[in-house]
Amino acid sequence: MDSSQLSTAAGSDPRADEQFRAEIREWLAGNLVGEFAELRGLGGPGREHEAFDERLAWDRHLAAAGWTCLGWPTEYGGRAAPLRQLVIFHEEYARADAPARVSHVGEELLGPTLIAFGTEEQRTRFLPGIKTVTELWCQGYSEPGAGSDLAAVSTTARRDGDDWVLNGQKVWTSLAHVADWCFVVCRTEPGSLRHKGLSYLLVPMDQPGITVRPIVQLTGTSEFNEVFFDDARTDAGLVVGEPGDGWRVAMGTLTFERGVSTLGQQIEFARELAALAELAERNGSAADPLIVDRLDRARVGLRVMRAQALRTLGSDDSGAASVSKLLWANWHRELGELAMDVVGAPGLLAAGGELSPWQRLYLFSRSDTIYGGSNEVQRNIIAERVLGLPREARP
């Protein structure tokens, strides 16, 4: 199945979909020009440092033209675009080699979470700033002792009059150093364990009680951060859902995280694979039958990944989301390993101290099977929630 086949589903309008495709394609062609043309291909995982301010300006340009938050209901500023049109948007955006968005966390994660679980007051306060890209967000989930095991969080929040007061530490917080707000999963019921007693708070980043410390990665960049809360405060009304209901809300956010944007990601993967195959032809490594076999396997894997994504679009099945994460994360990590074998000995050196795109791909893709839920956690979800196997023993 491809995106064109989505338009043949019951209740769809193929002509409207093709008009939509032509509209976004024409708009991108007419707007990725001048200073914005220089942003093509910039940004994304491991490269968030590239032209950040310029990409932020591009995001705001998209917003002014009505190209943000397409799937949101019209009453919250969206177009209520159907799923198949969201797929079309992400595909055309990737095909145009448009720069990676800086507002993903707000638009794709928090916005849908507030629409599903928030109060009308919270939606009125925060959704406009997400849509116009005037407020940026980060995600406060992982901790030093609770990486992929979100239920083990120990960051606390206690009520103090009209405020929540937070203490603890989050880690691997993407773009916390540029974010205005953070949605934080923390423990609000003293003595509670695991999934119980957690709450989902919206916390302003610009305050004395918050310290952000960038983490230097293997690539030399620092898009991940440690975030320390020392009597940090947020308004008592900025809890999404009820106090103690944070696990349900947090799981809702994770479901939104694995949405249609993954199809755009796969187009970028296909571009990387095509460029690697061209390099193999140029430098002679394609003469090695093992390299040829691995390139062919990568092509097959990409098609499998795409079929799985299209088959499970709109599903709230956590098992399907886990399968998709395992597929793309392991495929991309293996592509990085293949890239180093195609490059050969020159890949061992950083010319002038700078990493090549293939070296950066290899190094950063090592983290693909860790962030967003590690391989081990995804396999546990499939085993326990889909196959019905006994739960893993916990200390």
| 3-state SS class at 246 | helix
Residue with tokens 């310290």: 211
* Single-letter amino acid code for the residue at 85: Q
> Do 151 and 195 form a contact (C-beta atoms < 8 A)?
yes
Is 257 an annotated catalytic residue?
A: yes
- Contacts made by residues 292-298, CB under 8 angstroms, sequence distance 24+: 294/338, 294/341, 295/338, 298/273, 298/331, 298/334, 298/335, 298/338
Catalytically annotated residue among 257, 334, 337, 376: 257
183: alpha, beta or left? (left if phi > 0; alpha if psi -120 to 50): beta
In the numeric block, which tokens belong to residue 231?
Answer: 């009597």
> How far is residue 129's CA from residue 126's CA, in Å, rounded to a whole number?
6
Which residues face 234 on adjacent strands? 164
Which residues have a catalytic role annotated?
A: 257
